Amino acid sequence: MQTRTFKTCKTSLQVRLRTSAAAVAVLSAAACVAPVCAQESNTNVPPPPASATQSDAGKITTVLKEGLQPGAKVSISDQQLENAGQDQQDWLLHGRTYSNDRYSPLKQISESNVGSLVPAALVQTGMAAAFEVTPIIADGVMYITTPIVDSQMKIIALNAATGAHLWEATYKVGVEKLCCGPVNRGVAIGYGHVFVVTEDDELVALDAKTGKTVWDTQIIDPRAGYSESMAPQLYDGMIIVGSSGAEYAIRGFVAAYDAKTGKQIWRWDATDPNTFAGDSWKTGGGTVWNTPAIDPARGLVMFAVANPNPDLNGESRKGDNLYTDSIVALNVKTGKLAWYYQEVKHDLWDFDAVSNVVLFDAKDQDGKTVPAAGEAGKVGYFFIVNRENGKLIRKAGPFVTINMKTFGLPPTKDGLVFQPGPGGGSEWSPPAYSPNTHDVYVLGANQAFKLTKSEPSPIPGLKRWGSTLTPTDMANKSGTITAINVDTGKIDWQVKTPEPMVSGVLATAGNLVFTGEDNGWFDAFDAKTGKRVWRFQLGAGVNAPPVTYEVDGQQYIAVAAGGNFLQHTQTGDTLAIFKLASETAATH
């Protein structure tokens, strides 16, 4: 096996090909439909480059021992991505569809036979750390990313049925200034390329068949505190990415890049100068951690925006601090603001919106079915808005315990205990929506925190928390998975778990809901009743969203088990692939 290295000023990318299989606050009551505002430039960091660095021949070479089959379908088109909902075989987008609904019409695996689910492969990546990836599957090939270990991360192509390695790219991370763990949540695929963003703010396009670098571009300077952990979104020839790191003195943004060249097309800055005191908007936070949803019919890209900065102390940033803690819709072609709904004004509690926005149809207050968007907030409510205008339809829940004695009060120098705390409510964990039940399945965390007010660090480059966070009452922490009816806001069922839930949800036409627990259990529930019908122990925290797909007529379920940064669970490096036992599948 040979490796060659592609080098830029601060990174290197090594590609290796394998042929052997791997081993087994206050809540805002109304939306604001805003006019398009002129976005100020981000003056506190160097601007992103105008174009990508094209890789020259010879900078990276690959020895193909097996790789993908010659006829492998890797040139995924815009039409295929837009019609991903009708594609039962593949999982082409981060949320399976542009709606981020994480619902599959596959039903070979159902509540009647899920007890026969067995491992088809246990792939060990060799990168044991917080493993939060959503696998992408196209024509029997699975693409995953790993967390960062020893300043390296991997992008891997696998046989989706057997787990055999097809190619593997190792990325050397340069500057690291991480807020919340060495994680990467996956790739986007299309046009024959695999697209990934890195913790040190590189956007990289790889050849989907070989793993060779096609181009890469620097999104922004990571030395200021910017980082990238999200899976990018691909739409109409554009790669759309957000930013992480709002615990540092930065200004968050969402940007679109040309998928052919890496050149920036548009950029929207997430802090509004009119709602931050003085110049505090320049370092006002507002990062975007989650992969956006797309509404092609309305030409909108929708996402949730995280906390303002300084976090937990708002004295220097008086005002509502738009567009932090908000659901935001932009014109997907231009990046211009279409509408927003702010969940929490002037956040002092780290109630940032970090879970994926999900699109579905729901009944409004008059019983009329309208296009809607929902987001599971850290405050413990699921916010449903009309995606035509951003107006609130209903605030469903709560799906976790809320301490109403302190909810909405500012932290004090003596300290106040809050629940939900900075871990939620719902964390980054993506929900799933089933059109069969009209339920959205949301994960929650019951964990109290004591917030003790302090002064934010005045030293450039350090996190500006503004309070000390201390978990309390650890004996009573727990998690929830909750089925919420989007038409009524009522809870249809809820299951409590021993630990806070930080993973993701998959819903299927087989009347099943899959999710993982911190203690290593991978669970399946009856989607209508919440009865647990199957579980499997994977030995490390199952803190990643599951996916499902079909290869040669066989339905598979895949999920990563490697723990997470937030709960400090047992780490691991396993990508588990499940299928029905052969005799069960044959008689189905």
**Contact call for residues 585 and 560 (beta carbons, < 8 A):** no
Cα angle vertex 263, ends 261, 267, to 5°? 145
**H/E stretch holding 78:** helix 78-82
Is 350 labeled as catalytic in the residue annotation?
A: yes
Do 28 and 345 meet the contact criterion of CB atoms below 8 Å apart? yes
- How many Å apart are CA 53 and CA 353, to the nearest integer? 33
Whether the upstream peptide bond of residue 310 has omega within 30° of 0, thus cis, is yes
Phi, psi of 86 (to 5 degrees): -90, -5
* Phi, psi dihedral angles at 522 (to 5 degrees): -110, 120
Say how many residues make up the chain: 588
How far is Cα 402 from Cα 381, in angstroms, rounded to an integer? 10
Name the nearest CA neighbour of 489 among 379, 362, 404, 378.
Answer: 362
- Decide the pairing of beta strands 382-386 and 369-376: antiparallel
DSSP 8-state symbol, 61? -
* Residue 552 buriedness (CB in 10 A; 0-12 / 13-18 / 19+): exposed
3-state secondary structure 382-437: EEEEECCCCCEEEEECCCCCCCCCCCCCCCECCCEEECCECCECCCCCCCEEECCC
> By three-state DSSP, how is residue 44 classified?
coil
Query: Looking at 295, 325, 350, 439, which residue is catalytic?
Result: 350
Cα distances from 486 to residues 101, 387, 432, 441, in angstroms, run 13, 14, 12, 10
- DSSP secondary structure code for residue 81 in this structure: H
Residue 336 CB-half CA count within 13 A? 9
| Residues assigned a catalytic role | 350
